[in-house]
Amino acid sequence: MNPDINALKPYPFERLAALKAGLTPPVGLSHIPLTIGEPKHAPYQAALDTLVANQSEFSRYPTTAGLPELRQAIAHWLTNRFNLNGLDAESQVLPVNGTREAIFAFTQVALDRQRPARVVVPNPFYQIYEGATLLAGGTPLYLGCSADNGFRPDFDALDEATWRDVQLVYLCSPGNPTGAVTPIEEFQQLIRLADEHDFIIASDECYSELYLDEQTPPPGLLQAASAMGRHDFRRCVVFHSLSKRSNLPGMRSGFVAGDAEIIKAFRHYRTYHGCTMPVPVQLASITAWNDEQHVRGNRDAYRAKFEAVTNILSPVMDFPTPQASFYLWPSVPGGDDEAFTRRLFAEAHVSVLPGSYMGRPGQDGINPGSGRLRLALVDELEPTREAAERLRRLIEQG
């Protein structure tokens, strides 16, 4: 067995199940989970119709590179959404089966095991960054995202000696779990650091289309590079998905785009990896990437939920003003996120994720997720509102 398997930490939802074991919630209250970031809005119907209409295409093996029409649709969407110039669909875009699989696999390609391999991850973070790093023989370097730095990584906190061993930096913007958005200037600061210290930037942007201000879409890494005149996107790759944008998490459809040399190596790896997207899924994905109307409607639904939940919880909880994603990141009264999670489930039949489960102790020994909760506002409006009301009543009871 690969000994690095033993380095993997228990997954947050595994820990949550153990935390709730033995608790008996009130029988008269239905369970409302605010835990997994799985959209409950209706999936984009036109994509499903395309999938059904082309089901006979399951008889074909798909290619690693995917259909040219899909790569073109992705390149067209990226170019329009992020104001790019000259993105090449053939060499700079690669369809993948969702960002989770791609992020994990990409780390195996990006790290050079023949020298020290540090991987910078935001802290708290999406756990795949850490697991992928450990199984690729790398060492995670946790960069704290606290209220003091706007819940974004502070790259100035790392000294020259540390940067020398960094091979890969993972960003998540909009952030999971904080919802913080990386400004274009910080993307560009990181690009300059990558030039200086020769590392790859991998930007997880799967929440980029769930923003609350319709006039201010979050910027992206490729957009930042393009604004610098770097149309080869050297050292830069981005990950996007239809899971959140189009409410299609079960379709497992996304893409990686950026530096052509990096994409070439990743494509070569995936030829052996064997994780190619079925042709009907590719055709359905084209339908989804070509439509923006359903995405705007999706944002409207999330805005309504954020407004309702914020009005209910802001008098009793402290949390950053959400910019994007579908998470709320409130502080817990009393500061014990595990104890509060247990009590909320036992007394109100609402499940949330303790913030400490998404973080690790930093250099100062402090876990920046401790004392907070991640609330995934993924359900329809009324169940989400009801969960917030129960949460507030619990706090007011003391």
- The 10 Å CB-count burial string (b at 16+, else e) for 299-322 is bebbbebbebbeebbeeebebbeb
pLDDT tens column, 162-181: 999 999 999 999 999 999 99
What confidence tens digit (pLDDT) does each residue in 114-149 have? 999 999 999 999 999 999 999 999 999 999 999 999
pLDDT for 4 = 87
Rounded Cα gap, residues 301 and 221, in angstroms:
27
> With 90 as the cut, is the pLDDT of residue 199 above it?
yes
> Sign (positive/negative) of CA torsion 215, 220, 222, 227?
positive
pLDDT, residue 391, reads 98
* Whether the bond into 174 is cis, omega within 30 of 0: yes
Map residue 398 onto helix, strand or coil: coil
What torsion, rounded to 10 degrees, do the Cα atoms 63, 103, 116, 154 define?
A: 140
- What sign does the CA torsion over 89, 95, 99, 101 have? negative
Task: Sketch out the chain's domains with CATH numbers.
Answer: 3-42+294-397 (3.90.1150.10), 60-291 (3.40.640.10)
pLDDT of 72 reads 98
Report residue 198 as tokens: 């020769």
Residue 137 has a pLDDT of 95
End-to-end C-alpha distance for the chain, whole angstroms: 49
What's the pLDDT tens digit per position in 58-97? 999 999 999 999 999 999 999 999 999 989 999 999 999 9
**Cis before residue 315, ω within 30 degrees of 0?**
no
Predicted local distance difference test score (pLDDT) of residue 273: 87
pLDDT, one tens digit per residue, over 212-264 is 999 999 999 999 999 999 999 999 999 999 999 999 999 999 999 999 999 99
**195 alpha-carbon distance from chain centroid:** 25
**In this predicted structure, what is the pLDDT of residue 338?**
98
The pLDDT, as a whole number, for residue 34 is 98
The pLDDT tens digits of the residues spanning 330-377 come to 999 999 999 999 999 999 999 999 999 999 998 888 999 999 999 999
Determine the Cα–Cα distance for residues 196 and 230; give it in Å rounded to an integer.
Answer: 15
Answer positive or negative: Cα dihedral of 333, 339, 345, 348: negative
